[in-house]
Structure 1
Amino acid sequence: MWPLDPSRREVLRFAVSCRVLTLVLQVLTRFLGSSTPVVYWFPAYLLQHQEPLLRSLETVPWKPLAEDSPPGHNVPRNAIIGLLYNWKACSPVTRCILGYFLTYWLLGLLLHCNFLPWT
C-alpha cells in the first residue's frame, strides 16, 4: 500500500470520525428509544393532563366499525387521529408534541429510504 500524503490522511481521519459519530448516535438513539419508556410516558402524561379534547373523547362511547359490521363488533376511537383532525382546537403543548412525533416519523421515513443515517 502506498503511503498517504497529509491531505489524504486528514480526509480519511475526518471520514472515519464522521462514521463513528453517526454510528454512536444511531446506536444511542435506538437504545434509548427502545429501552426507556420515559421518552413516551412524559408526552403521554402531558397530553393526558393538558389536552381538553382527550377528556371529551373519554366520555364518547365506542363507535361501530361500519354500518354492516356484526353487532357487538366495536373498535375504540383513536385519540391521536381525533387530535390530528382537530389540530386548530388543540393546545400549543399538544401541537408541539404531535408535531415532534410526526416530524420524526416523516424524516425517518424519508432518510431511511434514501440510505441516510437515521434511526
Structure 2
Amino acid sequence: MWPLDPSRKEVLRFAISCRVLTLMLQVLTRFLGSSTPVVYWFPAYLLQDQEPLLRSAETVSWKLLVEDSPSGQKVPRNFILGLLYNWKTCSPVTRYILGYFLTYWLLGLLLHCNFLPWT
C-alpha cells in the first residue's frame, strides 16, 4: 500500500475520531432517552407545577369538553395539544419546555431523513 504523508494521517485520524464520537453520542442519547424516565419526569413536574392551564384542567374532564363542544370549535383531548393551541396564554416555563421538545423533534426529523447524525 502507498505510504501516507503526515497530513493524510492526521485527516484520517480526525475523521475516525469524529465518527466514533458521533456514534457514541447517538448511542448514549438513545440509551438515556429510552431507559431513564427522569429526563421526562422533570419537564412533566415543571409543567404541572408552573402551568395554570393544566391545574384548571384537573378539575374539568377534557372528555366532557370534547363531547359538549359546539361545532366548529376545536377542543383537544390531549393536554399537550391544549397547551399548543393556547400558546400565547401559557407561562414562560411551559413555552420553553414545549419549544425545546418541538425543536428537538423537528431537527431530528429533518436531519435523520437526510442521513445526518441525529438521535
Deviation sequence 1:60-80 (CA, Å, 0-9, x none):
22123x99xxxxxxxx82100
Shift of 1:88: 0.7
The TM-score normalised by the length of structure 2 is 0.87
- Within a 5 Å distance, the mapping from 1:75-90 to structure 2 comes to 77-90=77-90
Q: Which residue of 1 aligns with 2:117?
A: 117
Unaligned runs of 5+ in 2: 71-75
Unaligned runs of 5+ in 1: 68-75
1: CA distance, partners of 2:114 / 2:77: 34
2: CA distance, partners of 1:60 / 1:48: 15
Q: Which residue of 2 aligns with 1:22?
A: 22
Q: Which residue of 2 aligns with 1:104?
A: 104
More helix by share: 2
* Length, aligned pairs only: 111
1: CA distance, partners of 2:33 / 2:2: 44
Q: Which residue of 2 aligns with 1:72?
A: none
SS of 1:3's equivalent in the other structure is coil
The percentage of counterpart residues that share the same residue type is 86
